[in-house]
């Protein structure tokens, strides 16, 4: 089954709505310039509830050019399972995070930065000076070739309207959505999240 990650969660209300819609992974954005930025304390409040009531959920921190120590501190403090690295992080950083991190690629994929865990990486659209959440579609043709070899998350402009097509064409290990299920930047729309999950499951059943 295709994994579903809903990213940019800022409130417990949105976290629970995403869980009820059927998300497998929730993402929390620690990049201060993002409209989906969350403070560490606010994240702890949400994740402490989720870990207790939904132990199966995987929680992911999204980081841009933070140090390994800062990332490790946030992972531990917020009870996060994985770090998604959206900046210019090195192979050494991935190694230091020891199976708990994966790289987000905007555009082309650097084979040196592909990890062995799942997901091996994330593919996003290439938008100048924007680290994810742009609402622009990634290159599905390139992604479908990579999907034959790797277990990755497909992100970039996915919506309830186009994700069925994306899953059918690319066949990714998982899909990642942020702006495509929002009523305004950083505010999730429950109906859109439900529809997004339904669209993914519909594509799999064809």
pLDDT tens track for 141-192: 999 999 999 999 999 999 999 999 999 999 999 999 999 999 999 999 999 9
Query: 125 falls in which pLDDT band (50, 70, 90)?
Result: confident
- Peptide bond between residue 119 and the one before it cis (omega within 30 degrees of 0): yes
The rounded distance, in Å, linking the Cα atoms of 162 and 35 is 23
Radius of gyration of the chain (CA): 15
Write the CB contacts of 188 (distance below 8 Å, at least 6 apart in sequence).
6, 8, 9, 14, 17, 18, 181, 182
User: Do residues 26 and 60 make contact, with C-beta atoms less than 8 angstroms apart?
Assistant: yes
Residue 61 CA to its chain's centroid (Å)? 9
* List 14, 43, 78, 124, catalytic entry: 124
**Structural domains present in the chain:** 3-205 (3.20.20.70)
pLDDT tens profile 29-51: 999 999 999 999 999 999 999 99
Mean pLDDT of 131-138: 61
Q: How far apart are alpha carbons 93 and 54 in whole angstroms? A: 30
Of 7, 14, 43, 176, the catalytic one is: 7
**Residue 7 bears catalytic tag:** yes
**Mean per-residue pLDDT, 16-37:** 97
pLDDT band at 1 (very low <50, low <70, confident <90, very high): very high
Q: Are residues 27 and 82 in contact, defined by beta-carbon separation less than 8 angstroms?
A: no
């Amino acid at each position: 089954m295709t994994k579903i990650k809903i990213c940019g969660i800022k409130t417990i209300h949105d976290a629970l709505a995403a869980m009820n819609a059927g998300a497998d992974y929730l993402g929390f954005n620690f990049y201060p310039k993002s409209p989906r930025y969350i403070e560490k304390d606010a994240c702890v409040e949400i994740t402490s509830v989720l870990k207790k009531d939904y132990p199966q959920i995987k929680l992911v921190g999204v980081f841009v050019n933070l140090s390994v120590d800062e990332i490790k501190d946030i992972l531990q403090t917020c009870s996060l399972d994985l770090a998604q690295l959206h900046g210019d992080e090195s192979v050494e950083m991935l190694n230091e995070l020891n199976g708990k991190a994966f790289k987000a690629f905007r555009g082309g994929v650097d084979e040196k930065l592909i990890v062995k865990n799942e997901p091996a990486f994330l593919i996003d659209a290439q938008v100048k000076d924007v680290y994810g959440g742009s609402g622009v579609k990634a290159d599905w043709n390139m992604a479908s070739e990579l999907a034959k070899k790797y277990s990755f998350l497909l992100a970039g402009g996915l919506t309830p309207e186009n994700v069925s097509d994306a899953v059918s064409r690319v066949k990714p290990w998982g899909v990642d959505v942020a702006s495509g299920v929002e009523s305004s930047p950083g505010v999730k729309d429950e109906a859109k999240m439900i529809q997004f999950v339904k669209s993914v499951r519909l594509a799999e059943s064809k």
